Amino acid sequence: MRSLLESLPDHVNSFVCSFAVPSPPRKPTTFLLQAFDLSAWPIVLFGEGNSVRYLNTAAEKALGVSRDELLEQAAKYHGLGQLPKPLQVVADLCPASNVWLGEVGTREVTLAVSDEDTDVVTWRAIFVPLADSQDTDDVSLVRNVVVMLGPPDRFPHTGPLQPQEEIHAALQALRHEYRGKYSVSHLVGVSTAMIRVRRLVDLASQSRVPVLVIGQPGTGKEKVARTICYSSHHGQVGPVITIQGELMDAEIMQTTIRAFARRCLDDDEANRASLILLNAEKLDLGAQSELLHLVDLIDVDLRILSTSEESLLTLARRGQFREDLAFRLSTLEIALPPLCDRPEDIPYLAQAVLEELNVTSDRQLQSISSDAIDRLQQHEWPGNIDELHEMLTAAHEVATGFTLNLTDFPMAVSHAPRKVTEAKEPDSIDLDTALETYERQIIERTLKAAKGNKTQAAHMLSISRARLHRRIEQWGLE
């Protein structure tokens, strides 16, 4: 068997041998690990089954997890969070399939430097396969992978950077930006529409104004509402209640809200209480009136996050919803675009769903073939993200390799006729102007919801009264 030292690429071998070793050990493997021990940069060694076999002191310090917690942990290939920290750390460093097939790889790795997962540092990771002797077909059997971390400006790009690795790194960075109890795969995308959605989610998470999430079935309205709820106050939320609009009449609404209010009074975090109202457009008139009455009556600062297939203000103009409640619930509106309108997001969404499936499966798929992505982008997606999730789940269960191929997908995708699409210029967005417009709309609606009470409006917006006054004067909102 070839020694570990001989199997390193020349540039990495030079890096390792640059360390001064007091007395060269007899075994090359011992020499290599001693050199790694002396490294100022973090180094982790993965063995078969994606399990951690070694890490140096610098890695232990950089990762913020003890050696004993990491050794022998098996990594799952995903960048979406939701795992205990030791498992999440090894997942963040998990080598991609092309490395296990013998290629040197490079990607950006975002790691949390505290338990809060909000303070992060970005490293450039070099993945080096360590191979046994080659067989007659010049194919090496990779049994170990060395992962070396360094500052992006000090470590060069090494080896091929595959498209799914770029997406994988983007998902990992997004997870740190939108941390919380719920996955953020539904916020993934590079389209102008999704960039706008993420900005509004950021804005909503920094205040306690009522939020209405609007979208077609399957676009992830509930997940977005919960992301806002659990990303507020760095995840330290108070009591949360979820109710379905179609199940509420006046009596049930009164009983439910009053019982929740009583429970909140016994909770230290009652000032952060939240109501998630699903399918608000399906509330009957009695339930609407009772909700509006109770929000003013109960002694709880209740923040309401609602979902609807259509704007409540639009419904109110048609006489199908109480106008005063519509304004109360719609201080900030976030409209989720249908999936068919943003095909450029599908490679990112599909990779995110694939990695979500890896979290709960022993099967660790790591990419989707280009022809499969091309066909997914041409599908109509009447069920939006939920339909995409179902199709990828079915494909994930039957795939035989590291990559999802077109033949792994249900016939609705794999045998669907190709549709002809006209290329369109990407939308441009003036971010400063857009954010100023959103801020003005939010302040106008909040002032109306607070019935002109500036102190209450400032509290709802989580800003100072002086800042609110400046905005009112700036835009002439008196």
What is the pTM (predicted TM-score) of this model?
A: 0.75
pLDDT of res. 148: 93
Looking at residue 290, its pLDDT comes to: 94
The residue among 248, 293, 9, 264 whose CA lies nearest residue 126 is: 9
The tens-digit pLDDT sequence of the chain (478 residues) is 344 445 555 555 554 444 444 444 445 567 778 888 888 999 999 998 889 999 999 999 999 899 999 999 999 888 776 678 888 889 889 998 888 888 888 888 888 766 555 577 889 899 999 877 555 455 557 889 999 999 888 776 655 556 777 888 888 777 777 665 556 667 889 999 999 999 899 888 888 889 999 999 999 999 999 989 887 655 567 889 999 999 999 999 999 999 998 888 877 766 788 999 999 999 999 999 999 999 888 878 889 999 999 999 999 999 999 999 999 999 999 999 999 999 999 999 999 999 889 888 888 888 899 999 999 999 999 999 999 999 999 999 999 888 999 999 988 776 655 554 454 455 555 656 666 776 777 787 777 777 778 887 777 776 777 778 787 888 777 6
DSSP state of 420: P
Burial 434-468 (b: 16+ CB within 10 A, else e): eeeebbeebbbbbbebbeeeeeebbbbbebeeeeb
Domains of the chain and CATH, by start: 4-160 (3.30.450.20), 192-336 (3.40.50.300), 339-414 (1.10.8.60)
pLDDT of residue 394: 93
Q: Give Cβ neighbours of residue 279 (< 8 Å, ≥ 6 apart).
A: 244, 245, 246, 307, 308, 309
The side-by-side arrangement of strands in the sheet containing 142-150 is 51-55, 43-47, 142-150, 120-131, 105-112
Query: How many residues are present in the chain?
Result: 478
Q: Residues 133, 139, 144, CA angle at the centre, nearest 5°?
A: 60
Q: How far apart are CA 149 and CA 44, in angstroms?
A: 9
Q: Report the first-to-last Cα separation within the chain, whole angstroms.
A: 81
- Would you say 81 and 183 are in contact if contact means Cβ atoms under 8 Å apart? yes
**CB 294, CB 302: distance < 8 Å:** no
CA–CA separation, 437 and 110 (whole Å): 33
pLDDT (tens digit per residue) in 397-437: 999 888 999 999 988 776 655 554 454 455 555 656 666 77
Closest CA relative to residue 358, chosen from 343, 369, 368: 368
Specify the pLDDT at position 423. Answer: 43
**How many whole angstroms separate alpha carbon 202 and alpha carbon 234?**
12
pLDDT digits 0-9 by tens, 271-313: 788 999 999 999 999 999 999 999 888 878 889 999 999 999 9
Phi-psi region of 203 (alpha: psi -120 to 50; beta: other; left: phi over 0): alpha
